[in-house]
Chains A and B, each alone.
Chain A
């Protein structure tokens, strides 16, 4: 028996609870549904409201129409897209997505055969990287084009009745746009050129047609498999193929060897005629967008390249200064040249090798891709690129390039140089991609007075700790009676002979083998540096670290210590107190002394960061220990269930990766949420802060032996 549907008043009340203002029409419309549907729809509104109240309001405005057009599942998909847009670009952009309601509904009708961008985006990204050239991002766009750094494609394709055909269409679009970048469609700024024609739009259309023809030849030559697909798609949609289009154009002078210049000279002859239509895989072009992106890149890459040159020359100068101190008088000028060398993997069949005074030089890392990108833009390395950036200039640029970690708010949402991590949103039951920006910030070593005091204060305990930890240390063990080993086990041999003499079979186990029990443990301590630790909690934390370090030095386990704190998702910071490679020396001690309380505790992002760090560490046992004083909490809504759920999911990721998470906390209420987050056996609550230093080393010993 099902419950009666919600009444008008009840719906209004629920909406009020979410602080959502809905019009009367919508509410009365909602009363027409059964209770399950009502509930689902209200959940959707609440999901939107949890993101942004403006978004929820906009959703309500369109919901009635959406219900008329779409199934509930599709409405959810539609809303998810809007929320994504909100996350990335803000409310305005999410409203744009909501406005695409009709087209989403239309697509949804054919969804069974269509393919959504989400399903293929990762694969397509790998695919394009494989194809070669400058890294191209793939994103959803209103139309399908490239700005030479990003390829924009529709969020869904359903032109064909077979899913695979739609996928092939995606692929062909992407290849076509990649080819524009790779085979030099954008070697010139074309906006001005188009504007010299009486009908710029028509000229641009013609340019698109001619370039597509030229690229079609190239693709046929380089990627015949894709070319076959393109032809097949044309046939499927009863559209003439590019070849047929090409043949219908008179004069038709494009061949596989044609370049952009050939296209442009042909454009000269054809621009006044109406341009033929192309199949949708040929995408479109946007010369203005390209011009903006390209110009910015040209400036940036020229600077970068000239800096590389300056760097190479500098190194050479230093070297020769060292070599002949006596002959320092003849400070000759060094000359960098770029020699063409054949490379069949480049569109023109060559790349450049940098030569210093005629000798080839090994370019610094990343320069190869820089050269490749410059060739893609210009077809060559122009001579003015080969001039070393002047001394002053060089320095300024270097400073600019250096990311100033303390100045993250200088640009709006400045994410350059930060690690981007995802975050789990339990309300949406999915990840927010690249949600948190995390930086590693250096911590300046302070005086080691605190450390010395601690060592004095606990000197007895430290001795004791060392002794107990020594027992844990790996030892060489001689295994006896082995079938195979380094030496003969005389006892076993005598026994074996006795056995043989008494008529039994001789045992094979007569060797000894050295077995080294190695403790192969790597552990990261993440120390809460949130504001709430201010005062004696912070002292206790630091004291614990000192005792731990003292103990761990005897044990020989690899360990790293990081402090963490944050203020909203854009400003998460970890402070490397001791990395795996650092020794426990004065500097490290100084950094421990200088651990100071700062902002908030956004746990999830840090756990993910350390998970990533653990990927590069090879150890049998990997342990992530959190020293904390409370719940995960941050300024921008990262609290309560949201924070706990995100942390829980991050810890699940740890376990999947083979990292054992463990939490030591002094939050007496910790028992309530730690069990959800860490599981029953993976946390310890210490009731008395002063006990923390005494307990931490002990706990460590327990969990690692």
Chain B
């Protein structure tokens, strides 16, 4: 445990071990086909259903570095493309993550892209159609993407807000893959594998997740995601009681409303 954290350049971030991913439908084939045809990919789906894990898995499959940008509402075009910095009395151009990905033929994954400012998302347009170039106005260059480069982004259509919607001109450039929570049997298998717990326990956790998903729209904004279930499963596998694990990992993560919390806790204590 004494080892220092490894420092890597983004374009050197290769995923060596296969990330665990259970295919739900044909998403792997579609992604591979889109990659081959150099079409960018849009992943849609609720939080914690496996979008990022899917990207890691694909990066591993394709043996390409994965550069992830978590978008936020202050993300500017320079944050993606790059900027001049001062070094030793001279200016020096530093590539942003998107430019790096293009230059090195990596996979660039823009996570939660709707969070970014609308003017920012426009810079990816030339990259996302058949031109596949990244204009870098400040250095007066066009960066042409190689075959290896891949652009992917994710967004959660659940947050329905006028402000947080993807422009048509952006979304119509992408092949869209829809993600949702996996079917019960598959979800059980995922939790069993990820958290290393017994089948019956994983089944109960999935059942509990469905109970919270029933409450979506009746006081909860979202039901428990697969990720939360894995968290709870992991705690249980270290000896925490299932009721406590569900309380800390799931109930508290879903809501602050006292009555709703009580109801969710009662549901978990009914199951275990």
B161→A618 contact, CB < 8 A = yes
B215→A225 contact, CB < 8 A = no
B160-198 Cβ-contact flags toward A at 8 Å (1 or 0)? 111110000000000000000000110000000000000
In the complex, which residues of chain B have a beta carbon less than 8 angstroms from the beta carbon of A488? 84, 86, 91
Within 8 A of A (CB), among B33-82: 76-78
Q: Of A171, A224, A514, A581, which one neighbours B266 at CB under 8 angstroms?
A: A171
Q: How many residues belonging to B are interface residues under a CB distance threshold of 8 Å?
A: 38
Sort A-B residue pairs by CB-CB distance and give the 10 closest, nearest first. A126-B263, A130-B211, A486-B78, A225-B270, A223-B270, A226-B270, A127-B263, A130-B267, A122-B259, A618-B161
Within 8 A of A (CB), among B240-265: 243, 259-260, 262-264
Q: Of A123, A343, A510, A580, which one neighbours B162 at CB under 8 angstroms?
A: A580
In the complex, which residues of chain B have a beta carbon less than 8 angstroms from the beta carbon of A344? 184-185, 203, 207
In the complex, which residues of chain B have a beta carbon less than 8 angstroms from the beta carbon of A175? 270
- Judge if B210 is at the interface, Cβ distance under 8 Å: yes
- Judge if B23 is at the interface, Cβ distance under 8 Å: no
B214→A129 contact, CB < 8 A = yes
A487→B138 contact, CB < 8 A = yes
In the complex, which residues of chain B have a beta carbon less than 8 angstroms from the beta carbon of A171? 266, 270
Residues of chain B at the chain A interface (Cβ within 8 Å): 76-78, 83-84, 86, 89, 91, 138, 160-164, 184-185, 203, 207, 210-212, 214-215, 218-219, 243, 259-260, 262-264, 266-272
- Judge if A313 is at the interface, Cβ distance under 8 Å: no
- Judge if A132 is at the interface, Cβ distance under 8 Å: yes
A224→B207 contact, CB < 8 A = no
Assembled-state Cα–Cα distance A580/B162 (Å): 10
B214, B218, B271 — which one has the most chain A CB atoms within 10 A of its CB? B214
Assembled-state Cα–Cα distance A417/B215 (Å): 22
From known contacts A223-B271, A343-B184, infer whether A126 and B84 are also in contact, taking CB-CB under 8 Å: no
A370 to chain B: closest CB distance in Å? Answer: 15
A618→B211 contact, CB < 8 A = no
From known contacts A486-B78, A488-B91, infer whether A126 and B219 are also in contact, taking CB-CB under 8 Å: yes
Question: Which residue of the partner chain B has the closest CB to A168?
Answer: B266
A130→B259 contact, CB < 8 A = no
A125, A127, A581 — which one has the most chain B CB atoms within 10 A of its CB? A127
Assembled-state Cα–Cα distance A458/B158 (Å): 45
Q: Of A225, A580, A581, which one neighbours B269 at CB under 8 angstroms?
A: A225
- Judge if A493 is at the interface, Cβ distance under 8 Å: yes
Within 8 A of B (CB), among A486-520: 486-488, 493, 497, 510, 514
Assembled-state Cα–Cα distance A344/B182 (Å): 13
- Judge if A676 is at the interface, Cβ distance under 8 Å: no
B214→A132 contact, CB < 8 A = yes
In the complex, which residues of chain A have a beta carbon less than 8 angstroms from the beta carbon of B212? 130
B76→A130 contact, CB < 8 A = no
- Judge if A41 is at the interface, Cβ distance under 8 Å: no
In the complex, which residues of chain A have a beta carbon less than 8 angstroms from the beta carbon of B91? 488
- Judge if A131 is at the interface, Cβ distance under 8 Å: yes
From known contacts A510-B86, A618-B161, infer whether A345 and B210 are also in contact, taking CB-CB under 8 Å: yes
A575-619 Cβ-contact flags toward B at 8 Å (1 or 0)? 000001100000000000000000000000000000000001110
Question: Which residue of the partner chain B has the closest CB to A345?
Answer: B210
B128 to chain A: closest CB distance in Å? Answer: 22
B211→A224 contact, CB < 8 A = no
Assembled-state Cα–Cα distance A514/B91 (Å): 20
In the complex, which residues of chain A have a beta carbon less than 8 angstroms from the beta carbon of B210? 132, 345
Given contact pairs A132-B211, A343-B184, enumerate 12 new A-B contacts (beta carbons under 8 Å): A123-B263, A126-B259, A126-B263, A130-B263, A130-B264, A223-B270, A224-B272, A342-B185, A487-B78, A487-B83, A580-B162, A618-B164
Chain A interface residue count: which class? Answer: 20 to 34
Question: Which residue of the partner chain B has the closest CB to A488?
Answer: B84
10 pairs from A and B in contact (CB 8 Å cutoff): A129-B218, A130-B214, A130-B215, A223-B270, A344-B185, A485-B78, A486-B76, A486-B77, A618-B161, A618-B163
Assembled-state Cα–Cα distance A514/B211 (Å): 47
A123→B266 contact, CB < 8 A = yes
Assembled-state Cα–Cα distance A124/B264 (Å): 10
Assembled-state Cα–Cα distance A126/B270 (Å): 14
Assembled-state Cα–Cα distance A127/B163 (Å): 34
A350 to chain B: closest CB distance in Å? Answer: 12
B77, B219, B243, B266 — which one has the most chain A CB atoms within 10 A of its CB? B266
B146 to chain A: closest CB distance in Å? Answer: 27
Assembled-state Cα–Cα distance A636/B223 (Å): 42
B184→A224 contact, CB < 8 A = no
From known contacts A343-B184, A486-B83, A580-B162, infer whether A123 and B259 are also in contact, taking CB-CB under 8 Å: yes
In the complex, which residues of chain B have a beta carbon less than 8 angstroms from the beta carbon of A124? 263
Assembled-state Cα–Cα distance A129/B243 (Å): 19
From known contacts A224-B272, A345-B210, A487-B84, infer whether A123 and B267 are also in contact, taking CB-CB under 8 Å: no
Question: Which residue of the partner chain A has the closest CB to B255?
Answer: A126
Question: Which residue of the partner chain A has the closest CB to B206?
Answer: A344
B40 to chain A: closest CB distance in Å? Answer: 25
In the complex, which residues of chain A have a beta carbon less than 8 angstroms from the beta carbon of B264? 126, 130
Question: Which residue of the partner chain B has the closest CB to A343?
Answer: B184
In the complex, which residues of chain B have a beta carbon less than 8 angstroms from the beta carbon of A510? 86
A131, A175, A485 — which one has the most chain B CB atoms within 10 A of its CB? A131
Within 8 A of B (CB), among A101-136: 122-127, 129-132
In the complex, which residues of chain B have a beta carbon less than 8 angstroms from the beta carbon of A514? 76
In the complex, which residues of chain B have a beta carbon less than 8 angstroms from the beta carbon of A224? 271-272
In the complex, which residues of chain A have a beta carbon less than 8 angstroms from the beta carbon of B162? 580-581, 617-618
Assembled-state Cα–Cα distance A633/B78 (Å): 57
Question: Which residue of the partner chain A has the closest CB to B243?
Answer: A225
In the complex, which residues of chain B have a beta carbon less than 8 angstroms from the beta carbon of A345? 184, 207, 210
B161, B259, B270 — which one has the most chain A CB atoms within 10 A of its CB? B270
Assembled-state Cα–Cα distance A618/B91 (Å): 41
Assembled-state Cα–Cα distance A665/B184 (Å): 58
In the complex, which residues of chain A have a beta carbon less than 8 angstroms from the beta carbon of B214? 129-132
Question: Which residue of the partner chain A has the closest CB to B117?
Answer: A516
In the complex, which residues of chain B have a beta carbon less than 8 angstroms from the beta carbon of A129? 214-215, 218-219
B76→A127 contact, CB < 8 A = no
In the complex, which residues of chain B have a beta carbon less than 8 angstroms from the beta carbon of A225? 243, 268-272
A493→B211 contact, CB < 8 A = no
A641-654 Cβ-contact flags toward B at 8 Å (1 or 0)? 00000000000000
Assembled-state Cα–Cα distance A388/B263 (Å): 40
Assembled-state Cα–Cα distance A327/B78 (Å): 56
Assembled-state Cα–Cα distance A130/B218 (Å): 9
In the complex, which residues of chain B have a beta carbon less than 8 angstroms from the beta carbon of A122? 259
Assembled-state Cα–Cα distance A131/B268 (Å): 10
Assembled-state Cα–Cα distance A233/B147 (Å): 68
From known contacts A131-B211, A225-B269, infer whether A126 and B260 are also in contact, taking CB-CB under 8 Å: yes
Question: Which residue of the partner chain B has the closest CB to A127?
Answer: B263
Within 8 A of B (CB), among A406-463: none
Assembled-state Cα–Cα distance A497/B271 (Å): 68
B81 to chain A: closest CB distance in Å? Answer: 10
Within 8 A of B (CB), among A259-313: none
Assembled-state Cα–Cα distance A223/B260 (Å): 19
B21 to chain A: closest CB distance in Å? Answer: 22
Question: Which residue of the partner chain A has the closest CB to B264?
Answer: A130
A310 to chain B: closest CB distance in Å? Answer: 27
In the complex, which residues of chain B have a beta carbon less than 8 angstroms from the beta carbon of A580? 162
In the complex, which residues of chain B have a beta carbon less than 8 angstroms from the beta carbon of A222? 207
A223, A343, A487 — which one has the most chain B CB atoms within 10 A of its CB? A223
In the complex, which residues of chain A have a beta carbon less than 8 angstroms from the beta carbon of B211? 130-132
Assembled-state Cα–Cα distance A224/B77 (Å): 55
Assembled-state Cα–Cα distance A125/B212 (Å): 13
In the complex, which residues of chain A have a beta carbon less than 8 angstroms from the beta carbon of B207? 222, 344-345
A493→B86 contact, CB < 8 A = yes
